[in-house]
Structure 1
Amino acid sequence: MALPLQGVRVLDLSHVIAGPMASFYLAQLGADVIKIESPAGGDVMRAAKSPADVAAGDTPSGFTALNAGKRSFSVDIRTPEGAAQVRALARTADVFIENFRPGVVARHGLDEAAIRAERPDIVYCSISAYGQLGEWSGRGAYDHVVQALTGMMMMSGDSADAPPLKVGFPVIDVAAGMLGALSVVSALFRRMHDGQGARIDTSMVQASLMLMYPNASTFLTHQVEPQRVGNRGYTGSPTADTYRCADGWLATAANTPAQFRKLTRVLGMEALCEDGEALDLAAFNAPGGGFVVARDLEGVRRRFREAFATRSAADMEAQLNAVGVAAARVRRLGEFLAEIDGGQQLPLPYRSYGEAGRGGTRTPGLGFRFLGEQMERPDGA
């Protein structure tokens, strides 16, 4: 198939994760991405080798996964000659991406005005920690720092007095990159109609708030702080929870009365559905459903903890899904990927990058596929 962004050229001055994730999506959708790297070692992710990468003598898998399908151009933008080379390349580009602190590229004559002078209809995308406006715009940040700032750390954990707990991977970096790619594609689509370029400002703070969008909206509307719920589900239903079983842990989500009835039937606890001291039966039996509301939340949770404690998490996962109740045994990432890799349970659109003879880098794909079509770059990268 013809990839949707074939014919689009992207000049990418970004580094580490957020910016490269944005240009990675554009590259994998067919754009010609030219990645500008410093002659002094290039993108810092080139040095972020895992023990497996070191043993194999490969380019770090994390770098390869984020930058597959791009062309690399080594130039020192801090020199007048290097900056002039980048401006010359910009004349042929449709998109310009950078993720330096605000003001840095301007010092080298690569700000929006300078690039637009070369290509008036350019889509110029800046990805930063705090955005291009405001007193904090000049601050630097990393993923866990923004998690701390925006309240994400204080939403994780089991109790109000527990220490802050970060999400265990760079979730904000990745989300900022995805927002960057979405905004660029939107701007390109609009340009097809009006011929105008765009100035895009997205940030890690904006990405964090979008990840917490329902909670952030509730606070802005009603000034209600989200409470820590640990491993319980967002709905607040008493069985949207995670339970210790005889052979591990199980997460369930029997949110609606219909799902709750099925769960209690599997566990032999059907009488709970008629217990007015444990549940709000008016809500439970109301036409149209809704979520299950507990009158005695801790008592209901205790009963289910006791019921699951003697059962197998693997058996419960199978039995509950068979009757239409969402449930999953808690797994490690590697355990999950090894379980589904090559199987039919969840055929992901896997992709491999790099030299096949040296093993290359395997990835779980782009997060979506065009059904019935092969979505591969012509160069296979």
Structure 2
Amino acid sequence: MTSFDRADALPASTQPLHGIVVLDFSHVIAGPFATYYLAALGARVIKVENPHRGDSLRNKPTSFASLNHGKEIVQLDLATDEGKARAWELFAEADVMVDNMRPGVLEKFGFGESQVRARKPELIFCAISGYGRQSEWASRPAYDHVIQAVSGMSLLTGAQGDGPIKVGFPVVDSVTGILSALALIAAIRRRDLTGLGESIDVSMLGAALQLMYPMTVDVMSTGKTPNRVGNVGYSGSPGAETFVCRDGLLAVGANTPQQMLRMAEILNIRHQVEPLLAGQSRGFVGSSHAEELRALLHEAVGKHSAKELETSLNDADVPSACVRDLGECVQDAVKFNLVEQWVLPETDAVKVPGLGFRTAALFGGNPIPY
């Protein structure tokens, strides 16, 4: 393919990955999430499953449907000549191949990266694994909670003195899928410009470190492990915490002196707070008088309703939110149009929160890509 030529422009209804064919040897969450993005953006994704086992996520039907909707699913036994022959037929059409099997599995059947690239040098090959195919830990298996432990994430969550705390959802799996989709789209664009293939090596550990980017950078720069801060915001401001109100919990982001003063005004304690901020006019609120400010805020917030403060603080441009469980959040997100909810067709009314972003024309003007 050549670079974009307006004279050859396709109709506005064309999806961005129109014409791209993806051969998907992935299972569970990370790989399927990556290829779900590609399918939603218009690629033809052919998911290959082992007929004897299938995808382990099939025992969670809603999750399986949400990650694999829009794909063609074929069952092939690569241990048989018939299965291999059919796989090579599908490969002949492919622009992209995704592999998040254990390292070495596809090689055993003749479909490893060097084997497929010998047949198609322009192929974009994406390997997804726990620790990266080029690392000394390449052969180690991994799951989300294991990577949370090894990456330091479970000892960064929580407060000093706590035991390890796992994030309560497969956060590493999800971000690995999104990172893989980003890398694949970049490689597809590069191939459009140059005609050249690409080798992509995405690791769950690398994705976890990207999630913790500011902290990871600090450690790389200083060699010091950061303290655990519990529910305090990244700024460290005494106004960036989770406060106990009379009817619930409220997370507040009063990071700057200006935000702190607006919060104090609402709480009727500005006359006490303002002297403690003397000399601070820019950036985050510093450590000077931090404990005094923290004590004042906690005492004052405790007299108020969380719901009422959520409204009044946001109206004053101080970010704040009542602590909600996921059910409450989803209910409000749909009610207030905070996310673009899609109902996947041809499923048992499986609802998904779009791709995490809204567009005007990416899906040809349609609200969803299906």
2:8 corresponds in structure 1 to none
CA spacing shift, 1:42–1:375, aligned 2, 3 Å: farther
Matches within 5 A, 1:114-133: 114-133=115-134
2:173 corresponds to: 173
Identity of aligned residues (%): 42
3-state SS of the aligned residue for 1:125? strand
Give the CA deviation at 1:15. 0.1
Task: Please name the residue that 1:307 is paired with.
Answer: 300
Pair 1:200–1:319, CA change in 2 (3 A): same
For structure 2, the 5+ residue unaligned runs are 1-12
Q: Who is 1:320 aligned against?
A: 313
Q: CA deviation at 1:177?
A: 0.5
* Counterpart position of 1:349: 340
Q: Deviations over 1:325-364 (max 9, x none)?
A: 10101111111111232x3x334221111436xx320011
Q: Is the Cα–Cα contact under 8 Å of residues 15 and 362 in structure 2 kept in the other structure?
A: no
Task: Answer yes or no: is the 8 Å Cα contact 1:21–1:178 preserved in 2.
Answer: yes
Instruction: Find 2:49's aligned residue among 37, 41, 51.
Output: 37
Residues 96, 125 of structure 1: 8 Å contact kept: yes
CA 1:86–1:379: 2 relative to 1, 3 Å: farther
1:261-299 Cα distance to aligned partner (Å, 9 max, x none): 1001000111234334xx4x32x13xxx11111323333
Letter in 2 for 1:114: Q
Aligned 8 A contact 1:30 1:377 in 2: no
Cα shift readout 1:34-81 (whole Å, capped 9, x = no counterpart): 000111241111112xxxxxxxxxxx1100000110000000123343
CA contact (8 A) 1:209 1:216 kept: yes
Residue 224 of structure 1: how far off its partner (Å) = 2.3
Q: Name whichever of 203-212 and 218-227 sits farther off.
A: 218-227
**Which deviates more, 302-311 or 149-158?**
302-311
Alignment match, 2:353? 364
Distance 1:315 1:150 in 2: 39
> What is the alpha-carbon distance in structure 1 between the residues aligned to residue 123 and residue 237 of structure 2?
49
Q: What does the per-residue CA deviation read over 1:210-232, in whole Å, with 9 as the maximum and x for residues that have no partner?
A: 00011001110111211111111
Q: Distance in 1 between matches of 2:92 and 2:191?
A: 16
| TM-score (ref. length: structure 1) | 0.90
Q: Determine the structure 2 residue equivalent to 1:56.
A: none
Residue 305 of structure 2 is aligned to residue 293 of structure 1: no
Question: What is the Cα deviation at residue 310 of structure 1?
Answer: 1.6
> CA separation of 1:313/1:242 partners in 2, compared to 1, >3 Å: closer, same or farther?
same
Matched with 2:269 is: 269
The aligned residue for residue 147 of structure 1 is: 148
Q: In structure 1, the residue corresponding to 2:93 is in which secondary structure?
A: coil
Residue-pair matches, total: 358
* Structure 1 contact 91–118 (Cα < 8 Å) conserved: no
Q: Aligned ranges for residues 137-216 of structure 1 at < 5 Å?
A: 137-158=138-159, 160-216=160-216
Task: Give the Cα separation in 1 of the matches to 2:168 and 2:79.
Answer: 35
Alpha-carbon distance in structure 2 between the residues aligned to 1:193 and 1:37 = 33
- Following the alignment from structure 2 to structure 1, what is the Cα–Cα distance between the partners of residues 100 and 53? 18
1:137 deviates by: 0.7
Find the aligned partners of 2:108 and 2:86 in 1 and give their Cα distance: 15
Residue 374 of structure 1 and its aligned partner are, at CA, apart by 4.8
Per the normalisation by structure 2, the TM-score is 0.92
- Aligned with 2:230: secondary structure? coil
CA contact (8 A) 2:313 2:320 kept: yes
2: distance between equivalents of 1:16 and 1:273?
51
AA matched with 1:105: L
Further displaced range: 103-112 or 346-355: 346-355
Task: Find the aligned partners of 1:379 and 1:364 in 2 and give their Cα distance.
Answer: 11
Corresponding residue number in structure 1 for 2:88? 87
Q: Distance in 1 between matches of 2:315 and 2:366?
A: 39
- CA shift at 1:316, angstroms? 0.1
Superposed, which structure 2 residues align to 1:12-23 within 5 Å? 12-23=24-35
Shift of the 373–144 alpha-carbon distance from structure 1 to 2, 3 Å rule, reads closer
Instruction: Check conservation: 2:342, 2:368, Cα contact below 8 A.
Output: no
1:377 shift after superposition = 8.1
2:4 aligned partner: none
Amino acid at match of 1:7: G
For residues 261 and 320 of structure 2, what CA distance do their matches in structure 1 show? 15
* Residue matched to 2:23: 11
Supply the distance in 2 between the matched residues of 1:339 and 1:379 (Cα, whole angstroms).
Answer: 21
Q: Deviations over 1:86-128 (max 9, x none)?
A: 1221111000001012222111100112212332211000000
Q: Secondary structure at the match of 2:202?
A: strand
Residue 272 of structure 1: SS of its match in structure 2? helix
Q: CA, structure 1 residues 372+201, in 2 after alignment: closer, same or farther (shift >3 Å)?
A: closer
Q: Contact (CA 8 Å) 2:237, 2:290: kept in 1 or not?
A: no
Is the contact made by 2:249 and 2:323 (CA closer than 8 Å) also made in structure 1? yes
Q: Which residue of 2 aligns with 1:51?
A: none
Structure 1 contact 28–377 (Cα < 8 Å) conserved: no
Q: Which residue of 1 aligns with 2:110?
A: 109
Distance 1:101 1:151 in 2: 23
